[in-house]
Amino acid sequence: MISVKYHGHSNFQLTNGDTAILFDPFFKGNPVNTADPEKIDCNYICVSHAHSDHLGDALSIAKRTGATIISSFEIAMMAEREGCNAHGLHIGGKHGFEFGFVKLTPALHGAGIEGGTACGFIVNFFERIIYFAGDTGLFSDMELIGRKHKIDYALLPIGDNYTMGPEDAVEAVGLLKPRTVIPMHYNTWPLIAQSPETFKKDAESKFDCTVKIIIPGGTIQL
C-alpha cells in the first residue's frame, strides 16, 4: 500500500512497505509538525534546496538511518562532507532507484547554498508519478513538465510571499494537468497564511483535477 504522510510545510513522507522517501524534512522548529524526527525511518531524503525550512533535519536523519540524500550536486557534496550518503543530480537529469526514478526539475527560487540552484522533483514511486515542486514561483515550463510526465500527484506551494500564491498555483495546475493536487508551504507561519479550501474550490472549478488537503500529521493512500 502506497501512502503519503504530511508533516506540515513542505515535509512529506512517501511509503510503500519497507521503502520510504522523505521530502524536505523540516521537523525541528516546524510549528505545525507533530512527529519526532528521532523516530523517523526512511531510505531516501529528497532535498529541494538548502533553506533551513527544507534542508531541515535531513543531515541528522540521514546520519542516523543511513538514508541517501537525493539533491542537486552542491547539496549532495555538502551532505557527503558531513558524512551522509548522497546522490547528486542536476536539473533535467534523472536516475533510477529501487522504487523507480527521480528527475530534477527547475524551480524559481534561491538555492540556500553557494553555487547551487533550487529544484523540484519528478518521482516515479512504484509507478505513481509525483511532482514535488519545491519552493518556486510560477513558470511556463511547467507545461513541458506536464506534457512529458503524466502526473498523478502534484505537490504545489500555495503560501505566497516566498513561493507561488494560490492564484498562481491554480495557473500551475492548468499547465501541469495533474490528476490530484496536494497544496503545501502554507499556514506554517502567519506570513504564509492561506485558505487551502479556497484554492481547492478555484482549482477544481477551473480544471479537471482533485485537490486533496492533508492536515499536518495526516496520511492519505495514493
* Window contacting Ni ion (CB under 5 A); options: 62-70, 134-142, 169-177, 186-194: 134-142
Q: How many residues bind Mn ion (CB under 5 A)?
A: 2
CA distance 16 to 38: 20
Alpha carbon 172 to its chain centroid, in Å, reads 15
Q: Per CB under 5 A, does 9 bind Ni ion?
A: no
Residues 41-60 that bind Mn ion (CB under 5 A): 53
57 is in the binding site of which of Mn ion, Ni ion, none (Cβ under 5 to 8 A by kind)?
none
Among 11-19, 86-94, 131-139, 150-158, the segment contacting Ni ion (CB under 5 A): 131-139
CA dihedral 213, 218, 221, 222 (to 10 degrees): 50
Query: What are the helix (H) ranges across 126-193?
Result: 142-148, 166-176
- 3-class state of residue 78 by DSSP: helix
CA angle 76, 79, 84 (to 5 degrees): 115
Q: Does position 135 bind Ni ion by CB under 5 A?
A: yes
Q: Tell whether residue 177 is a contact of Ni ion (CB under 5 A).
A: no
Helix, strand or coil, per DSSP, at residue 221: strand
**Interacting span for Ni ion (CB under 5 A) from 48-56, 64-72, 81-89, 165-173:** 48-56
Which residue number, 31 or 66, has a Cβ lying nearer to Mn ion?
31
For the bound state, the minimum distance from the C-beta of residue 30 to Ni ion, rounded and expressed in Å, comes to: 13
According to DSSP, the β-strands at 44-46 and 68-72 are parallel
Footprint of Mn ion (CB under 5 A): 53, 135
Footprint of Ni ion (CB under 5 A): 51, 135
